């Protein structure tokens, strides 16, 4: 298993332990990843045991967000721009699909990197929110070669397909996205924001050397084992949820790598927030944390993109 495959498998197991997936569905999804039944059962048992042994999580956040009711609109939606579907040339003669949202007067450009469910309506919405905040945004469909996310009727099958893609292809496709974004916002600085699996890919971009990135804001993404960001020039705001112990465990390594590279960086750990707290279509959505994280991201891009 690659680190990203392991991450997806552990996410499925965690969803089961927290009651979001039945045992039967969790085993089905792990089977789609290629795990045999004994390994899948062992992973579920290991995650359940880890959850029982873990102490209650505490937050290290120093700034509380303003009160937001569950019925409040998701952050950034008030001025969001409708994202449109586009295609553009990718590596090795391939064609990449994407969602594109253009700011009226772009202050910069943002590459949006989707979760392990593919290019969903939620990610299209986030792309439009960035445009509404003044940053033209592009979200590459990392399942383009498989026909695109929309061709999968089973969300778990889309996740399984993503798990089988080599990491080098992800990096190549995302770099092609940055090239296309730069073409569409010439002369502007570029940032990257990824969520969950996409947060991990944001870190992967940074550790693979992407000097064209001026800033990045990975949301609860695992930092690569032994990763170094010395080839990057990006100012990084890393976003975590205080209840997300699995991903939070990689935060010290990320911060140490950023320190070693001498890059401007901050970590925001949201109070009472779990993994995927920003996704307003998911069961872990936490509106107060999401609003504060959005405020910080837009402020960060204002400082480092323009």
Q: Same domain for 171 and 40? A: no
Q: Same domain for 277 and 201? A: yes
Domain that holds residue 180: 84-304
Rounded to two decimals, what is the model's pTM? 0.92
What does the mean pLDDT of the chain come to?
93
Q: Same domain for 105 and 39? A: no
Q: Same domain for 273 and 199? A: yes
Evaluate whether residue 133 is within a structural domain.
Answer: yes
Residue 87's SS3 state is strand
Q: Same domain for 223 and 294? A: yes
What's the CATH number where 97 sits? 3.40.50.1820
How far does Cα 2 stand from its chain's mean position?
A: 18
Backbone angles phi, psi at 51, to 5 degrees: -65, -35
Q: Same domain for 143 and 250? A: yes
Mean pLDDT split into 10-residue runs, the chain, 306 residues: 87 93 94 93 89 52 43 90 97 96 98 98 98 98 98 96 96 98 98 98 95 97 94 97 96 98 98 97 97 98 98
Q: Same domain for 155 and 93? A: yes
Digit-coded pLDDT (tens) for 200-239: 999 999 999 899 999 999 999 999 999 999 999 999 999 9
d(CA 40, CA 183): 45
Backbone angles phi, psi at 229, to 5 degrees: -115, 25
Digit-coded pLDDT (tens) for 50-78: 777 654 444 334 333 344 545 679 999 99
Portion of the chain with pLDDT greater than 90, in percent: 89
What pLDDT is recorded for position 64?
A: 38
Evaluate whether residue 64 is within a structural domain.
Answer: no
Evaluate whether residue 42 is within a structural domain.
Answer: yes
Structure tokens at 163: 């798990």
Torsion of CA 94, 208, 297, 273, to 10 degrees: 100
According to DSSP, the β-strands at 190-194 and 135-140 are unpaired
Q: Same domain for 19 and 146? A: no
What's the total number of domains in the chain? 2
Q: Same domain for 89 and 8? A: no
């Amino acid at each position: 298993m690659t680190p990203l495959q392991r991450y997806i498998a552990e996410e499925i197991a965690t969803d089961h332990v927290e009651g979001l997936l039945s045992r039967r569905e969790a085993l089905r999804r792990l089977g789609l990843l290629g795990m045999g039944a004994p390994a899948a059962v062992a992973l579920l048992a290991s995650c359940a045991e880890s959850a029982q042994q873990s102490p209650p999580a505490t937050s290290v956040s120093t700034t509380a967000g303003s009160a937001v009711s569950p019925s409040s609109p998701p952050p950034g939606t008030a001025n969001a721009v409708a994202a449109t579907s586009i295609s553009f040339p990718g590596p090795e003669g391939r064609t990449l699909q994407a969602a594109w949202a253009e700011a009226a007067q772009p202050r910069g450009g943002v590459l949006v990197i989707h979760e392990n469910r593919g290019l969903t309506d939620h990610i299209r919405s986030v792309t439009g929110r960035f445009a509404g905040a003044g940053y033209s945004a592009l979200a590459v469909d990392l399942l383009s070669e498989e026909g695109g996310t929309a061709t999968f009727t089973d969300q778990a099958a889309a996740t399984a397909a993503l798990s089988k893609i080599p990491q080098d292809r992800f990096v190549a496709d995302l770099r092609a996205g940055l090239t296309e974004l730069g073409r569409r916002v010439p002369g502007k600085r570029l940032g990257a924001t990824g969520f969950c699996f996409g947060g991990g890919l944001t870190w992967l971009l940074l550790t693979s050397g992407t000097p064209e990135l001026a800033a990045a804001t990975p949301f609860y993404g695992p930092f690569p084992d032994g990763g170094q960001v010395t080839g990057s020039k990006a100012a990084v705001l890393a976003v975590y949820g205080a209840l997300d112990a699995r991903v939070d465990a990689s935060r010290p390594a990320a911060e140490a790598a950023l320190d070693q590279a001498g890059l401007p960086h901050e970590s925001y750990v949201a109070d009472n927030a779990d993994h995927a707290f920003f996704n307003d279509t998911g069961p872990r959505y936490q509106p107060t944390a999401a609003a504060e994280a959005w405020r910080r991201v837009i402020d960060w891009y204002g400082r480092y993109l323009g």
